[in-house]
Amino acid sequence: MNKEFQEALPVIRRLKEHGYEAYFVGGSVRDALLGKKIKDVDIASSATPDQVRSLFSRTVDIGSEHGTMIVILNGLHYEVTTFRTEKAYKDNRRPSEVTFVSSLKEDLKRRDFTVNAMAMDEEGTIIDYFRGREHADLKVITTVGSPHERFSEDALRMLRAIRFVSQLEFTLSTDTLSSIRENAQLLSKISVERKTMEFEKIMAGRGSERALKLVADTGIYEHLPCLKTKKQQFLQLSGLPFHLLSANEERWTALIYVLKISETEQFLREWKLSNRQIEMIAKNILFLKERVNRKWTKQLLYESGLQCALQVEAVKNLIEGNVLSNEGRSELKALYQSLPIHSKNELEFGGTDLLQLSNQKPGPWMGELIKKIELAVVNDEVDNSKEAIKEMLKSCNLI
């Protein structure tokens, strides 16, 4: 049994000592079987949230009405969820109400895909009612029960299916695939935030190429923000190994560039990204457009900053079919280090110096002149010292 499960065993044992059933469930069981890195260890139990609370000294209520409590043990967090079903789906979205049930089997039955619907007991024995193990071996994502029913209950599952294709490098079973084709339009009922979370995982997974192709082929793209008219570009995009990019912002930058989106900020606002992300990505796009036509100069690098430049370089390499090498990265860093200044604050000559030197009143002319000085320093046309800058201003009749 993996270390992650061993560490969580005391939680299962304590529940069992008090007469409740308790199992490891969901993603951790799947990932252990696949030999992948285990993220969160989730537990399903017959104990209700109140019963869970009474058994452990440190718990956090993150949704007891849905049956979920966090148990903290040795600094690690475990979600313990009461066996439940999700009845009465409204509007093809996850229900707001759940019903607690007494059996593990019913709990596993409400889960989305067979590979996500396995449990493991404290001995390490896998409980697999829906052929999850067989499907894991075949590397196939297939719904628990009728795909049509399951996607009608919660349309987000269609994106989740493609997300697992990407993350696990699986394929979709034939009936799951054809059901997504038929039901894609139900995604219009799903909130943008939930779509964005899944789509980011689709772009990031090792199987992103196959998954992005599925987004195009199944018609799912039509129900994602601002992508309705982009099928051809989307297919082109799916030929790029997006997962080789390391940051989310890099992937959005590549997406926008390849899809030839003209209004970056508007596009990202529709996807409800944070202002900070929008700002970073918009800046990346600006410098990427420069970079595809010319090499980094000191001034360009000064204006972009190192983080943006590295991201732009990674994206440029990707769209040209390359990968940014460590050498390429080091070269760019070295060029950045070699800049005489990295921001205006490092300039040895400021507004006060300027006023002392001239007899003019403060005004917008100052900002313009400081900008000129800044660029002259960056481009090695003048030393970053008060004296040298004064000399330059005088000799160029700038003052």
Residue 24 has φ and ψ, to the nearest 5°, of -75, 140
Determine how many CB atoms are found less than 10 A away from the CB of residue 172.
Answer: 25
Nearest CB to ligand ATP, comparing residues 68 and 253: 68
Residue 154 interacts with ligand ATP (CB under 6 A)? yes
Nearest CB to ligand ATP, comparing residues 69 and 308: 69
Query: CA-to-CA distance for 257 and 166, rounded, in angstroms?
Result: 21
> Which strand (E) or helix (H) includes residue 259?
none
Chain centre to alpha carbon of residue 87: 30
> Which strand (E) or helix (H) includes residue 17?
helix 3-17
Question: Least CB distance from residue 117 to ligand ATP, whole Å?
Answer: 6
Question: Least CB distance from residue 157 to ligand ATP, whole Å?
Answer: 5
Q: What is the DSSP letter of 222?
A: G
Question: Least CB distance from residue 194 to ligand ATP, whole Å?
Answer: 9
Any idea how long the chain is? Answer: 399
Question: Least CB distance from residue 268 to ligand ATP, whole Å?
Answer: 23
Chain centre to alpha carbon of residue 366: 43
Counting Cβ atoms within 10 Å, is residue 258 exposed (0-12), middle (13-18) or buried (19+)?
buried
- Residue 30 and residue 115 in contact, taking contact as beta carbons nearer than 8 Å: yes
Residue 157 interacts with ligand ATP (CB under 6 A)? yes
Of these partners, ligand ATP, Mg ion, none, which one is at the site of residue 198 (CB under 5 to 8 Å by kind)? none
Positions touching Mg ion (CB under 5 A) are 27, 40
Query: CA-to-CA distance for 105 and 145, rounded, in angstroms?
Result: 13
Q: Residue count at the site for ligand ATP (CB under 6 A)?
A: 11
The amino acid that residue 203 corresponds to is M
Q: Please list every residue from 228 through 267 that binds ligand ATP, using CB under 6 A.
A: none
Query: CA-to-CA distance for 385 and 286, rounded, in angstroms?
Result: 32
Residue 116 interacts with ligand ATP (CB under 6 A)? yes
Query: CA-to-CA distance for 381 and 263, rounded, in angstroms?
Result: 37
Nearest CB to ligand ATP, comparing residues 175 and 380: 175
Query: CA-to-CA distance for 374 and 340, rounded, in angstroms?
Result: 10
The amino acid that residue 335 corresponds to is L
Question: Least CB distance from residue 31 to Mg ion, whole Å?
Answer: 9
Residue 39 interacts with ligand ATP (CB under 6 A)? yes
Of these partners, Mg ion, ligand ATP, none, which one is at the site of residue 219 (CB under 5 to 8 Å by kind)? none
Residue 26 interacts with ligand ATP (CB under 6 A)? yes
Question: Least CB distance from residue 26 to Mg ion, whole Å?
Answer: 6
Query: CA-to-CA distance for 129 and 127, rounded, in angstroms?
Result: 6
Residue showing the smallest CB distance to Mg ion in the complex: 27
Nearest CB to Mg ion, comparing residues 111 and 283: 111
Q: Residues 74-113: x/- map of binding to ligand ATP (CB under 6 A)?
A: --------------------x----------------xx-
Pair type for strands 59-63 and 68-73:
antiparallel
Stretch that binds ligand ATP, among 63-71, 153-161, 211-219, 386-394 (CB under 6 A): 153-161
Nearest CB to ligand ATP, comparing residues 23 and 267: 23
Could you list the residues that contact ligand ATP (CB under 6 A)? 26-27, 39, 94, 111-112, 116-117, 154, 156-157
